[in-house]
């Protein structure tokens, strides 16, 4: 089997396992609460994946537009959204694509800032917030949700191997996704390491793929400055989906920020 075939099998396995395992709903419920019982909203979700957030909001009647560059994720989304007519999905790279305008809500969820791939990650993170501002109508809101630790050095930089998820897909292929030899640079706020994918096909063939990664971990002060510089007014901020304040025991930075009229 050639490398392209292995890559296709790995990609399919990744999408299916991600869709099975990443199924939390706490953030969806918080988004619904923040939106409230107002008229149905025009909502744009960046990097919508297989629709974990987008589909429940569409079922509530909101006019949903999603953007994602992964064709298999988008296919999975439409499988789950069969019969729902108020969904539009754009296949494109969020860092370079136009996001559109006049939305009531823009969702930057699911650790999106940490997962941006760019040569200048910090600038790209700030650009996402700016793009969200320009995509909103006056009076609209941005939901920003990012993994956040007051002491990131206590969380990042895990030595050895850390399994993120593993399992068998519907084709009978078993795999593991892990992070290897992660390091955290306190001064530069950079996390780096290796992503390793191990796949054992139903046929018994095995395949290993490794790729380096680098992530910039913004502080609360940086994110709030970026929002202020873009023009946002922060109305609410939480350290958890239970609406706790950000503190040393919480693990998120969640914002509901308004574009003034």
What CATH code is carried by the domain that includes residue 58? 3.40.50.150
Helix (H) / strand (E) element for 181: namely strand 174-185
* 46 & 107 share domain: yes
Give the CATH number, domain containing residue 160.
Answer: 2.20.25
**Gap between the Cα atoms of 5 and 73, Å rounded:** 18
pLDDT, residue 126, reads 98
Each residue's pLDDT tens digit, 94-138: 999 999 999 999 999 989 999 998 989 999 999 999 999 999 999
pLDDT of residue 3: 58
Q: Are residues 140 and 157 in the same domain?
A: no
* Per-residue pLDDT tens digits for 155-208: 898 889 999 999 999 999 999 999 999 999 999 999 999 999 999 999 999 999
Backbone angles phi, psi at 109, to 5 degrees: -110, -175
195 and 84 together in one domain: no
Structure tokens of 114? 């940490």
**Residue 220 burial class via C-beta count within 10 angstroms: exposed 0-12, middle 13-18, buried 19 and up:** middle
Domain range for 136 is 3-150+217-258
Give residue 37's pLDDT.
81
Same domain, 157 and 210: yes
If asked whether residues 170 and 244 sit together in one domain, one would say: no
The pLDDT tens digits for 13-30 are 999 999 999 888 999 999
DSSP structure class, residue 95: T
Residues 205 and 245 in one domain: no
Q: Give residue 204's pLDDT.
A: 94
Task: Specify whether 104 is located in the same domain as 166.
Answer: no
Same domain, 8 and 58: yes
* Contact by Cβ (8 Å): 145, 236: no
Looking at the structure of the chain, the number of domains it has is: 2
Instruction: Clarify whether residues 210 and 245 are in a common domain.
Output: no
Block residue for tokens 């501002």: 133
Same domain, 203 and 96: no
Res 4 pLDDT > 80: no
Position 1 scores a pLDDT of: 53
β-bridge partners, 180: 161, 194
Q: Are residues 107 and 162 in the same domain?
A: no
For 206, the token pair is 């095995």
Nearest-angstrom CA–CA distance, 234 and 243: 15
Q: What is the pLDDT of residue 5?
A: 81
| Domain shared by 121 and 79, yes or no | yes
């Amino acid at each position: 089997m050639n490398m392209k075939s292995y890559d296709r099998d790995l990609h399919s396995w990744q999408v299916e396992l991600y869709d099975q395992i990443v199924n939390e709903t706490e953030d969806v419920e918080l988004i619904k609460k923040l939106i409230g019982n107002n008229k149905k909203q025009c909502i744009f979700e960046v990097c919508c994946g297989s629709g974990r957030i987008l589909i429940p909001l569409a079922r509530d009647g909101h006019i949903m537009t999603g953007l994602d560059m992964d064709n298999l994720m988008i296919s999975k989304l439409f499988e789950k959204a069969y019969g729902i007519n108020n969904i539009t999905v754009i296949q494109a790279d969020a860092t370079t694509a136009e996001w559109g305008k006049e939305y009531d809500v823009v969702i930057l969820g699911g650790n999106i800032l940490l997962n941006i791939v760019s040569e200048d990650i910090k600038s790209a993170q700030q650009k996402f917030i700016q793009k969200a501002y320009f995509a909103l109508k006056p009076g609209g809101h941005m939901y920003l949700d990012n993994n956040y630790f007051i002491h990131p050095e206590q969380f990042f930089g895990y030595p050895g191997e850390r399994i993120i998820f593993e399992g068998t897909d519907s084709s009978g292929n078993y795999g593991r996704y892990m992070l290897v030899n992660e390091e955290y640079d306190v001064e530069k706020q950079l996390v780096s390491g290796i992503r390793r994918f191990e796949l054992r096909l139903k046929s018994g063939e095995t395949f290993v793929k490794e790729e380096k990664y680098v992530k910039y971990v913004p502080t609360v002060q940086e994110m709030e400055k970026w929002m202020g510089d873009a023009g946002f007014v922060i109305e609410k901020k939480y350290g958890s989906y239970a609406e706790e304040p950000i503190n040393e025991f919480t693990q998120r930075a969640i914002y509901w920020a308004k574009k003034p009229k």
